[in-house]
Structure 1
Amino acid sequence: MLQKSKLRWIPAIAVPAVVIAGAVAIPSMANAGVSLPSKSAAQIVALAEKSVGTSFSGTVEQTANLGLPDLSSFAGATSSDDGSGVSDIVSQLSGTHKARVFVDGSSKSRVQTLDQLAERDVIRNGTSVWAYDSSDKSAVHLTLPSRDGDTPSAGATPSTGAVPTDPATAAASALKAIGRYTTVSTSDNVRIAGQKAYQVTLAPNDSSSLITTATLAVDATTGVPLRVAVTAKGQTDPAYSVSFTSIDYSTPAASTFAFTPPQGATVKKIAVPDRSAHAGGTTTKSHPGITSRNDRIAKAKAEAQPTVIGTGWSTIIGAKLPTSAISALSSDDTLGQVFTPVDGGRLLKTALVTVLITDDGEVYAGAVTPSALQAAVAAQ
């Protein structure tokens, strides 16, 4: 969506979606005084579901120990103009990073990351989204379709039994859906950022997964997720974690979400198409030109769809890389520092995820071993 350089492009191939589902384990003695009413895993998940729309602000700390090499000495010299250099990616996926987070309901948010000499912000205020990097005074602006900025009314929620109508039902459905692949259990209560919290731990039933456990810590009062992390096979400490170090449930000031590019800033606007204008409405008469254009659009959409291999925790996601991304990776001198040449492409193995970039520009990623990933791709 947003321009790569403004968000320090971190491709989805680098971190599996399940990473957001875990929490750092703390010795029980540190939380001996945390006493809470007993809740089942489904009740804890339901509590988290109910927290959507809660206003708060706080400081978040991200820690990653994925086994990636230290490329700090290459920073700057190897990054491509669009900020997609491998060293930029690795720097965000290793070590510790801090950010300030502000949320007002479901349509206003701000994430503020502070580097040593720069500040980066991503701000959403209703349908308006800004991304700003103070290091080069560059900004990107886009306007979301109005429906994305609106809060659905109470009557908009379907009342049929096929769709969960409350957090408890939704939580039960979610746990039932993952039960085939996952052992779900409650963990010891903890105290995070001064708040008492419940924990739910997920353990893959699939031995081929690189993930051992993932735990979610939820504020016992508000339901807001306070800490997430995941542990990898062969590791005691979490390979990846995100945790609040402080949190305030007061509504942030409206000025927090107001943004005007500073004088001298370079602004790029990105148009976001409104798909509702093309969805299931009118039917046009058959015309060779229109048919050809629609065929090209349909083909492009089909090619853009990701490839899904396998199920559960061993799911592998594949996609065709854009030409610009292929060029950026090919020209990055540090590519050889993190990727290993293999038959038909290049391979990256971390504690939590394995990534394969093929010679013809396809990328595959999954929380599985390199041999499992290569075998699954070869079988396609």
Structure 2
Amino acid sequence: MTPFRRWCVVALGTLLLIGVPIGLRALPAAESDVSASALLERVRASQDAGWSGYVETEGTLQLPDADQFSDVGALFGEGTVLRAWWRDADHWRVDQLLLTGERDLIHDGGRTTAWDYERAEATVSRDPDIRLPRSADLVPPELARRFLDGVGDGDVSRLDARRVAGVSAPGLRIVPSSELSSIDHVDLWADPDTGVPLRVEVYAGSGKPAFTSTFEEFDGARPPAADVDFTATPSSDVEYDDVLDIADAANQYAPVRPPRTVAGLAKSESSDRAVGVYGEGLTQVIAIPLRDREADALRDQLAVTPGVERTDGTEDGPGRTLVTVGPLGVVLTGTEGEGGWLLAGTLNRDGLVRAADDVVRGFRYVGRG
């Protein structure tokens, strides 16, 4: 073979390698005759499936930039690129890719390691039931799992198939059954073979989604154990932390207990200490007790957020500072120097106010421990 012909073969092979994935994405999606209820069941059954891939999220929810919650605000208000390997719910790795490095989460049983590449620091912590959202919660399968909690056949309908990460994926629309929900609907598209959700869109109303999570590349095979392993280098700093974040700290140590129900929503079985998690699926709210210093700092940030509502306490109800951003609502009870309860979730304004009033009137003090 002449050098020229050899070069032509190499060039053709390169074009095929590049062009085939692009071509697959450009092809129209093949329709599916699977029913909404059958697709819902298939997606639920995929929770034990293994997978890997690249995920991109896009959020338009500009939450207040308070110190203890800045990472949460970035997750929901910016674009995020994730590389994930998921063997099962107990063994996974999700790397958040940054311009200058990456921040990784490696989960093994009841323990999670947070690895900061730039600083060469690893923090190992227990994995509590009550905590703030993290990057691993935003991959499409995990996001869909939380939204589908409590959803019935009457809450879903079929959407046209859509090509996601080269896969012709049938779609499903979920509409909340509760009038308290701030979410108008959630659309998702799933891999027809495994049922793994490939794309999730959250809508607060008509128009563009307020939050989107989608696979750009997807592999439906269970990744090998080596892909979710992590071994710190000899020069790395490794720390062990008994407290994951402010929600975990409050849940462990705050000497209070929230009421059993707020705004008519029952408290989850997992929230049996100081932090209350109420509702399910598309209608959920978390109530976190805050000390004076945390509450005052957050209250100051909320006060300068566009659309904030501030109310002083009266005989008819407690004081509060309330902000709604798309489908997310945040309310902080009390006034300066009083501490307060932080409530955040997917309740509409009236639901948040009712929930906040119920928490303030219904919580009780208990002994520490």
TM bucket normalised to smaller = 0.5 to 0.7
Could you say if the C-alpha distance between residues 85 and 214 of structure 1 is closer, same or farther in structure 2, counting changes exceeding 3 Å?
A: closer
Are 2:23 and 1:53 aligned?
no
1:363 aligns with one of 342, 355, 360 = 342
State the one-letter code of the partner of 1:41. Answer: A
Could you say if the C-alpha distance between residues 304 and 43 of structure 1 is closer, same or farther in structure 2, counting changes exceeding 3 Å?
A: same
Distance 1:67 1:142 in 2: 29
Could you say if the C-alpha distance between residues 257 and 205 of structure 1 is closer, same or farther in structure 2, counting changes exceeding 3 Å?
A: closer
- Note if contact 2:171-2:189 (Cα within 8 Å) is conserved in structure 1: yes
Q: Which residue of 1 aligns with 2:172?
A: 200
Q: Deviations over 1:316-350 (max 9, x none)?
A: 442323x4xx6346347755443736112322210
Per-residue deviation, 1:45: 1.7
Are 2:287 and 1:318 aligned?
yes
Q: Which residue of 1 aligns with 2:324?
A: 349
Per-residue deviation, 1:302: 5.5
Per-residue deviation, 1:190: 1.6
Are 2:103 and 1:131 aligned?
no
Normalised to the residue count of structure 2, the TM-score between the two structures is 0.64
**DSSP-derived class of the 2:353 partner:** helix
- Note if contact 1:85-1:329 (Cα within 8 Å) is conserved in structure 2: no
Per-residue deviation, 1:352: 0.4
Could you say if the C-alpha distance between residues 56 and 367 of structure 1 is closer, same or farther in structure 2, counting changes exceeding 3 Å?
A: closer
Q: Which residue of 1 aligns with 2:316?
A: none
**DSSP-derived class of the 2:78 partner:** strand
Gaps of 5+ in 2: 1-25, 129-144, 244-253, 259-270, 312-318, 362-369
- Note if contact 2:104-2:115 (Cα within 8 Å) is conserved in structure 1: yes
Q: Which residue of 2 aligns with 1:114?
A: 97
Per-residue deviation, 1:236: 0.6
Q: Deviations over 1:37-82 (max 9, x none)?
A: x22222112212332332221000111122558x7xxxxxxx74xx
Distance 1:39 1:266 in 2: 51
Could you say if the C-alpha distance between residues 334 and 116 of structure 1 is closer, same or farther in structure 2, counting changes exceeding 3 Å?
A: farther
Q: Pairwise mapping of residues 258-277 of structure 1 onto structure 2 (< 5 A)?
A: 258-270=229-241
Distance 2:354 2:257 in 1: 28
Q: Which residue of 1 aligns with 2:14?
A: none
- Note if contact 1:54-1:105 (Cα within 8 Å) is conserved in structure 2: yes
1:209 aligns with one of 166, 181, 198 = 181
RMSD, aligned CA: 3.6
Could you say if the C-alpha distance between residues 97 and 329 of structure 1 is closer, same or farther in structure 2, counting changes exceeding 3 Å?
A: farther
Distance 1:90 1:119 in 2: 18
**DSSP-derived class of the 2:327 partner:** coil
How many pairs align? Answer: 281
Could you say if the C-alpha distance between residues 352 and 99 of structure 1 is closer, same or farther in structure 2, counting changes exceeding 3 Å?
A: same
Q: Deviations over 1:63-107 (max 9, x none)?
A: 1122558x7xxxxxxx74xxx254x43222213111001122443
- Note if contact 1:31-1:190 (Cα within 8 Å) is conserved in structure 2: no
2:195 aligns with one of 185, 203, 223 = 223
Q: Which has the higher contact order (CA 8 A, sep 6+)?
A: 1
Per-residue deviation, 1:202: 1.3
Could you say if the C-alpha distance between residues 208 and 266 of structure 1 is closer, same or farther in structure 2, counting changes exceeding 3 Å?
A: same
Per-residue deviation, 1:224: 1.0
Q: Which residue of 1 aligns with 2:305?
A: 338
- Note if contact 2:256-2:274 (Cα within 8 Å) is conserved in structure 1: no
Normalised to the residue count of structure 1, the TM-score between the two structures is 0.63
Distance 2:126 2:356 in 1: 38
Could you say if the C-alpha distance between residues 31 and 365 of structure 1 is closer, same or farther in structure 2, counting changes exceeding 3 Å?
A: farther
**DSSP-derived class of the 1:47 partner:** helix
- Note if contact 1:329-1:335 (Cα within 8 Å) is conserved in structure 2: no
Are 2:77 and 1:94 aligned?
yes
**DSSP-derived class of the 2:47 partner:** coil
Q: Deviations over 1:106-148 (max 9, x none)?
A: 4321100011223111112445531111233321124679xxx
Distance 2:188 2:155 in 1: 14
Could you say if the C-alpha distance between residues 197 and 33 of structure 1 is closer, same or farther in structure 2, counting changes exceeding 3 Å?
A: closer
- Note if contact 1:188-1:198 (Cα within 8 Å) is conserved in structure 2: yes
Distance 2:29 2:164 in 1: 13
Distance 1:371 1:261 in 2: 48
Could you say if the C-alpha distance between residues 242 and 33 of structure 1 is closer, same or farther in structure 2, counting changes exceeding 3 Å?
A: closer
Distance 1:127 1:369 in 2: 34
Q: Deviations over 1:228-271 (max 9, x none)?
A: 121112x4111111111111234434332221223443322245
State the one-letter code of the partner of 2:169. Answer: A
- Note if contact 1:226-1:244 (Cα within 8 Å) is conserved in structure 2: yes
Q: Which residue of 1 aligns with 2:160?
A: 188
**DSSP-derived class of the 1:217 partner:** strand
